[in-house]
Amino acid sequence: MLAVVVTGLVLNLARTESWFRDFAPLLLTLAAFEEMNWFTPLVHNHHLEQNWIVLDRVLFEHYGFRASIESTGPLLPVFFELCYALVYAVAPVALWALFANGRRDRANNLLLAYLAGTLGAYALFPYFLSEAPRTAFAGEDLPHIVTVLRRFNLWILGHYDIHSSVFPSAHVSSALSAAWGLLETLPERPWIGWTMAVYGLCVAIATVYGRYHYAVDAAAGIAISLLGLAAVRMAGQRKSRGA
């Protein structure tokens, strides 16, 4: 029934020319995200997590990943928690950047990049059922500096997160796919896309530091984001051949 309703909504939106049409796909990604909870197992066996945590502990114990961040006191911990919190605004901000530069006609390509990277991550969740390190290894490897922003992020996750999988990181893939989309749709303003790309890499660091994801989740999110770039370029090639 849900699939029928969503299909009907999408077909109706396709006939309209409004800002709501441009932003509606972002609302539908929330429904797709929540549906991932359908795959949550009764019990996580932590088989994958036991392998993934090995790399994380190498980063933490041998390369001083957490110590380097916390050497600045609360400055970098606050910064990275803020980066993590702002992911929810990435897509609206990317669309606004197009509109502000008078390029609403390119919104479809930006959305194609963003949705390919975001939904591409969701599509892999059922195949890598897993728990976040902060819950699978409760009390271990956590940040030593607890900020108000961290408490806020934990509150959001406690109330609205899914529990089926954390691989790959959709936070990372969505931020970077938006960056690649901006680089393709606003080539005359490359600094906007590159700024978003730097932000996306900061999100990747934040997910590992905050124990929201494993390092392999963040790396996979970076790889999946390239689906967005590939999708936009393929669409452009098809349009050129059809012209």
pLDDT digits 0-9 by tens, 118-132: 999 999 999 999 999
Give residue 11's pLDDT.
Answer: 43
pTM of the model as a whole = 0.89
> Residue 168 sits in which domain range?
2-242
pLDDT number for residue 137: 95
What is the separation of C-alpha 237 from the centre of its chain, rounded to a whole number of angstroms?
Answer: 26
- For residue 190, give the amino acid letter: P
Question: Quick one: pLDDT at residue 37?
Answer: 87
Whether the predicted pLDDT of 113 surpasses 60: yes
Segment 72-84 mean pLDDT: 97
Contacts of 142-148 with C-beta under 8 Å, sequence gap 24+, read 142/211, 143/66, 143/70, 143/77, 143/209, 143/210, 143/211, 144/66, 144/70, 145/70, 145/73, 145/74, 145/77, 147/74, 147/77, 147/78, 147/81
**Four-CA torsion 60, 41, 126, 152, nearest 10 degrees:** -50
Q: With bands split at pLDDT 50, 70 and 90, how would you rate the model's confidence at 7? A: very low
Measured distance CA(31)–CA(116) in Å, rounded: 16
For range 67-72, the mean pLDDT: 96
Q: Choose the weakest-confidence range: 27-31, 91-95, 168-172, 174-178.
A: 27-31
Domain count, the chain: 1
As beta bridge partners, residue 129 has 165
